[in-house]
Structure 1
């Protein structure tokens, strides 16, 4: 019951919106019953007035060639007697004037013809009354018309309508209460699905993100909400899993270079010989460089995964300009490894729809990967060539090297995170191609590893849908 009381609850709003029109309908129903009862009562009493007027018409007789209505006093008293209302009547001849009356009634309608009648409201002696006028032929003068009028005040009519209203209103109230109870239960049944969602979510611990699942008898209006909640939970669960994987991978991958860095640093501190001390510091520098590269790759991995959880800020990007600019960043690194790098493609005008920062990282990872692994020869020496090609129709970005290449049996494995081929050499951490593939997928492209046309080295293609 506590949940039903807050004003902002769904039940309160639904029931509040229901009770207001229901109360208005109750009032309208009571008013309609009152006027309907008065109309039905008026029909009955109007019929009695008509019968009374016809009774008076039958009492008209002819004396000395004139129509007269001479009723005994007792008959007049019986005719006019009523415990509640007052009765008024008169008989008029259009040619000869008033024949009989017991009160001042309005002049009868002139348009009435014999056999016709008219019922209308009128005020008689300060009282609201109903008047019936009946036209009959004058028995003493066939060319004349007699109009008999009988009027009655409306106390009985109003009393009857009020009595009926008093009887019906409690019934309407009971019906309204029953409708309210039925609607209350119906609303409770409809909202129960939301309660089940809340209960299931409350039952989950902080380390559990599970979809709500199917809710029995959930209304059609609630199902889109359930689907949206399930999708949100799945996205949050995927994000949580991604964060856990990233933390685990980062901890695992950083443990080895940091341990190496510690050992080499301690050795350098203990080394008294200047030459060996320099060699130890050189090894420390290599460990620091590898750790920095690993940290950069891990951050790029996190960025690519995060971009997968939200919409990218896509825009038109000139892939040719972007590729040439990114390639220039790797010239110094290539020269240090005795690698000749080059670009083969248009200078501009190759438009794709993408996120510039991620596309730049995609190109940089492929070029860096080719320099690191493609420049290592079987005898341990470094050197070779790396070429960045851009094809226009269809749009395809290609990075080729003339190194040892990647065997077909390992081309799927090298796309997995932290996988490194045995004897591959280089100072990589096994994330470059994995990051490149994820960025490509986010742009609707495919990463494919093939053999170069010259048959030697590795060829990585990024095939864009556009």
Structure 2
């Protein structure tokens, strides 16, 4: 069972929720760490105050330090309802105060108060060491004060718990803002979609580009309008083609009807046979016109993506088409010749289209050239280039672009339909080849198809 595609809103929410949660989590951790830092500074300041209180009890006698510590003062110093407090005063290793040694810091001090973490009786403590320089003393006295971390941990928990409601409120507000924001964005997309849904296929008018559409949708809307413009051009071109084709077919069909009616009225056998011959000639021309129209449509279909190029020998294709047109050339007394290699002219192409292109060039030369004239197909290999020359009346320079238009014909005695050169041009473009018309050294017209290079 195929799953329904996810909506744009759900995709946005899924993509934004995780970063938002991570951001809020990082904010909570940072806030907790900052609060813990400042709370630690407060308790560290209390340790320093306690150390300085002990320093106030120090004195010097005969160069040696001592401390005036009574039992009541010692009990007051150690009194705390939550944590255990430890104090130590030492003069060069001589203990002046303290019933339990406080571990020394791992790094020697530089005269400034030194705060550090330590362990006493298996409990984690926070300690400070202060070096007190007394007047008359031989050396500084080291005062250390340590305290267990119970109050600190309780404060950290309270800070954490107090921040959770605030973070929850922030999360809810962010969720509401996120849903509102995605709803607004999706609303703009939905409005653009509604304009697409209301698009009239029959009219093929460009979509209105309103300012409320997201900027990211503008390239898509522009691309759709560009596509609509191309469809309009293609539709107009197709309509012109159908109209021209209908006009071109209507004339020979009307002529056939007249000739058939004339043949039916004839009582003389020879006259009837002549009328039927005229009908057969008209049918031949109609078949040629229909074939050209179908071939032009096939070349257009190939141009839309159905063309499959394969390695081909252009020389073999040219020889095949020359053989196919040989009887016709003999029948009209024309000299149909070939100037080129017998094989080995590789190109990438579609065989039937290339045969049709070569055949149309030969047909055009035989149809519009002199009846007993000369038609020469020349082929060169590097790069693959074929030329068809005739010694007929040629094509005036001012008409060479127009004869490539569909159904356009010069005022000549030929019985063509005006599609042959259009088909040649279309097929050449499909193969990346360059098609050109110019004057021939033979005195007539020269048609040249130059391919982009060798396929070998």
TM-score between both structures, scaled by the size of structure 2: 0.77
- Is 1:446 aligned to residue 435 of structure 2? yes
Equivalent of 1:28, from 20, 23, 26?
26
For each residue in 1:246-300, what CA deviation from the matched residue of structure 2 results, as whole angstroms up to 9, or x when unmatched? Answer: 4333333333334444555566567666555544443343233222211210012
Unaligned runs of 5+ in 1: 1-5, 376-381
Equivalent of 1:385, from 365, 374, 380?
374
Structure 2 CA distance for partners of 1:393 and 1:164, relative to 1, 3 Å: closer
TM-score between both structures, scaled by the size of structure 1: 0.75
- Is 1:131 aligned to residue 127 of structure 2? yes
Determine the C-alpha separation between the residues in 2 that align with 1:56 and 1:116: 16
Determine the C-alpha separation between the residues in 2 that align with 1:144 and 1:420: 120
What displacement does 1:346 show? 4.4
Determine the C-alpha separation between the residues in 2 that align with 1:123 and 1:194: 63
Structure 2 CA distance for partners of 1:199 and 1:112, relative to 1, 3 Å: closer
Equivalent of 2:355, from 360, 375, 378?
360
For 1:430, what is the secondary structure of its paired residue?
coil
The within-5 A match list for 1:94-109 is 96-97=94-95, 99-101=97-99, 104=100, 106-108=102-104
Determine the C-alpha separation between the residues in 1 that align with 2:375 and 2:60: 137
What displacement does 1:421 show? 4.0
Residue 423 (structure 2) aligns with? 435
Structure 2 CA distance for partners of 1:427 and 1:66, relative to 1, 3 Å: closer
What displacement does 1:238 show? 4.3
Structure 2 CA distance for partners of 1:56 and 1:453, relative to 1, 3 Å: closer
Equivalent of 2:149, from 129, 154, 158?
154
Determine the C-alpha separation between the residues in 2 that align with 1:107 and 1:346: 103
Structure 2 CA distance for partners of 1:369 and 1:193, relative to 1, 3 Å: farther
Structure 2 CA distance for partners of 1:12 and 1:122, relative to 1, 3 Å: same
Residue 459 (structure 1) aligns with? 445
Alignment RMSD (CA, Å): 4.4
For 1:129, what is the secondary structure of its paired residue?
strand
Aligned 8 A contact 2:111 2:130 in 1: yes
Unaligned runs of 5+ in 2: none
Structure 2 CA distance for partners of 1:24 and 1:414, relative to 1, 3 Å: closer
Determine the C-alpha separation between the residues in 1 that align with 2:341 and 2:102: 108
Structure 2 CA distance for partners of 1:15 and 1:82, relative to 1, 3 Å: same
Determine the C-alpha separation between the residues in 2 that align with 1:159 and 1:228: 63
Structure 2 CA distance for partners of 1:39 and 1:262, relative to 1, 3 Å: same
Equivalent of 1:37, from 11, 35, 38?
35
How many correspondences in the alignment? 447
Determine the C-alpha separation between the residues in 1 that align with 2:337 and 2:108: 115
